[in-house]
Chain A
Amino acid sequence: MSTQDRVKINKLPTGVPGLDEIVGGGLPEFSFNIIAGAPGSGKTTLAHQFVFANATPERPALYFTVLGESAIKMLRYQQQYTFFDPAMLPGSIRFINLSQVVLEKDLGAVLEQITKEVEKANPAVVVVDSFRTMVRKPQSDMDLQSFIQRLALFLASWQATTFLIGEYAEDELRDNPIFTVADGLFWLRQTAERNSIVRKLQVIKLRGQDSVPGLHTFRITDAGVQAFSRTFGLIGHLKDPPSHRRLSFGIAELDKMLGGGVREGDSVLVAGSSGTGKSVLATQFIAEGIRQGEPGIVAVFEERPQAYAERATSLGLDLETPQKDGKLSILYLRPLDLSVDETMHSILDAVQKIGAKRLVIDSLAGFEMALSPGFRADFRESLYRMIFALTGIGVTILSTVEVDESFTEFPFSTYSISFLTDDIIRLRYVSIDGQLRKIMVVIKMRGGNHAKDIREYEITDKGVVILGKRLTNYQGLISGIPVRSDRPGSTEESSLDTGIEHKN
């Protein structure tokens, strides 16, 4: 069958930010869907968002309430959400209570009542909340199956997109006939992880549509349910072709060490222990970008944007003006129960808003701490998805990471994430001539040559300043406790492999 012979399935907006992408562009029109989950997981709110996004006076929504939350209380609470438009009641959205017929009669009478109301209103959307309570009364499997079958057939024939809402447990998935009949099955989960609540949504089934598999984080705010796709809203976005541009740090010597600068679209990791100047380097990177007309985002987790900007000022870098000019956004993300997907959403919003080319994440440790404990377990995987998505749209990312100073190892990060990064710059303290000095080395540059030099640097009121030439008179610099070696022409390159353990 050619594409043009196939029936076109219209996709309806879900009214839930982020969910359209997860379901493959919108919900199939006339589909018969289940929203399942435990009490308080957001089922009713999600259904309301769909209803408010699709109901019209000509094709209204019928919202059947059964036993459980009364319509009055439901509306009392639901009208607090910003999507709730009271003017749509009752012309476009009608609430009908079926409690009495459910309590006093059988499923046949319930179907008859629904049929009567649907024939009268010709609705585009039908919701039964809660369907579970409707069928909880003892009845034979055959009755139930027949009821569900007839209900689904009737509502589809009347060209209604339907949601049945129910408090189902996951072990019911196998045997309950409702799940067989349904075209779409949305499962909302809510679990407590230490002191945080983690909400996740899964599209277990969606006929005729290519939905994004897996568990997607969602949050309920005063705007209702907001879903965060695992693909970060970048499905179908063509990966930008690799750029050959080099981005400057604004530190000429460092740019030289990097073979001319960071490749555009790379992910750079700046690793070092506390006080080695990771944030200073990151600030110089972003400030230089702005100076060259490349808008930037700084995601900070450990200090407030104002403090971050003030620290930049002390280095002679103006981050206030570009913020006012819309060329820089400093995001403070620290609610302690974030998911990477939400963080990513905030960052992507900012990237798109100001057309950012450079992004600083300062720091990965702060980022991890801002996440709900449940999400920390997936930190590496989430970080991978985030970096892949952002670099895919041409953003150059610089992340800072704190590493414990060790005199037996030379770790790049505590997250085993160096494989995620294209370039690694390592900063560390070193004991030389009775002083604790700082050295810098470019460990890795994917797809490009870089200097092997170990360079000493200082943090001055102009930021990171690289001193002199490479250190040639010491052996074992990267151990932190070098030994003076006055052999002429000795270099440090060989010391990288002198028994010091490299940890990724």
Chain B
Amino acid sequence: MRDLAQRLLEYEAFAAEASEPLGSPVLRVYEKLRQSLGEFVGVAGFQSLAFRALTQAKSEAPGLWAVRLAVDGSLQGLGEFQPQQGEFEPQPGFGKDQACEGGVVLIARLLGLLLIFLGEAITLSLLRMTWPGEVLDDRSSAYGRKA
């Protein structure tokens, strides 16, 4: 799941460079998930999933301490994110302040919850609504290893 999260972040980082960037890759991935899943599970449904994912992610990445969820499920306080030493895992296409471990963990946790509740087939179907198949279909990394 972590690999898939990382690939989505890389894709969004690349897209941000190619077009007009709107926030960090983490925010871009998160917002896209919020939009597509929000339609599917409702605002409250998404908010509860995101809350669970954020709680789990905070225990792995303490740097997310300042991140909060708004009532509509959007992320707040991501800008206050202070990467801890060793949290960076620089990837090609990631800016210094974007390639943060906390963001990867949060997105991975959110995707992990979808996988738990809906299974791989439906999760990928939902993600395909937003991202191109080639970003998702790299089985060697996406589902071959655990998050």
* Residue of A72, A89, A98 ringed by the most chain B CB atoms within 10 A: A72
* B129→A90 contact, CB < 8 A: yes
Residues of chain A within 8 A (CB-CB) of B40 are 71, 90, 95-97
Which residue of the partner chain B has the closest CB to A95?
B40
Q: Is A100 an interface residue (CB 8 A)?
A: yes
Q: For the complex, would chain B's binding face be called helix, strand, loop or mixed by DSSP majority?
A: helix
B39 CB contact (under 8 Å) in A76, A89, A91, A96: A96
Residues of chain B within 8 A (CB-CB) of A70 are 41-42, 45
Beyond A91-B125, A99-B42, 18 additional contacts (C-beta under 8 Å) are A70-B41, A70-B42, A71-B42, A72-B49, A72-B118, A75-B117, A76-B117, A79-B118, A79-B122, A86-B119, A86-B122, A87-B125, A90-B40, A90-B125, A97-B38, A97-B40, A97-B41, A99-B44
Q: Is A73 an interface residue (CB 8 A)?
A: yes
Bound-complex Cα distance A89 to B38 (A): 16
Given A95-B40, A96-B40, A97-B39, A75:B45 Cβ within 8 A:
no
Given A71-B45, A100-B44, A89:B122 Cβ within 8 A:
yes
Q: Is A65 an interface residue (CB 8 A)?
A: yes
Give the distance to chain B from A393, nearest Cβ to Cβ, in Å. 42
Residues of chain B within 8 A (CB-CB) of A97 are 38-42, 45
Q: Provide 6 A-B residue pairs closer than 8 Å at the C-beta atoms, listed in order of the A residue.
A: A65-B42, A71-B42, A73-B117, A79-B119, A90-B126, A99-B44
Per-position 1/0 for B102-140, Cβ under 8 A of A: 000000000000000111011001100100000000000
Per-position 1/0 for B40-76, Cβ under 8 A of A: 1111110001000000000000000000000000000
Residues of A that sit less than 8 Å from B by CB: 65, 70-73, 75-76, 79, 86-87, 89-91, 95-100
Which residue of the partner chain B has the closest CB to A70?
B45
The 10 closest A-B pairs by CB, nearest first: A97-B42, A86-B121, A99-B42, A89-B125, A86-B122, A72-B117, A71-B41, A100-B43, A95-B40, A76-B117
Residues of chain B within 8 A (CB-CB) of A65 are 42
Residues of chain A within 8 A (CB-CB) of B44 are 99-100
Give the distance to chain A from B51, nearest Cβ to Cβ, in Å. 14
Residues of chain B within 8 A (CB-CB) of A100 are 42-44
Bound-complex Cα distance A72 to B46 (A): 10
Give the distance to chain A from B121, nearest Cβ to Cβ, in Å. 3
Residues of chain B within 8 A (CB-CB) of A90 are 40, 125-126, 129
Bound-complex Cα distance A76 to B120 (A): 11
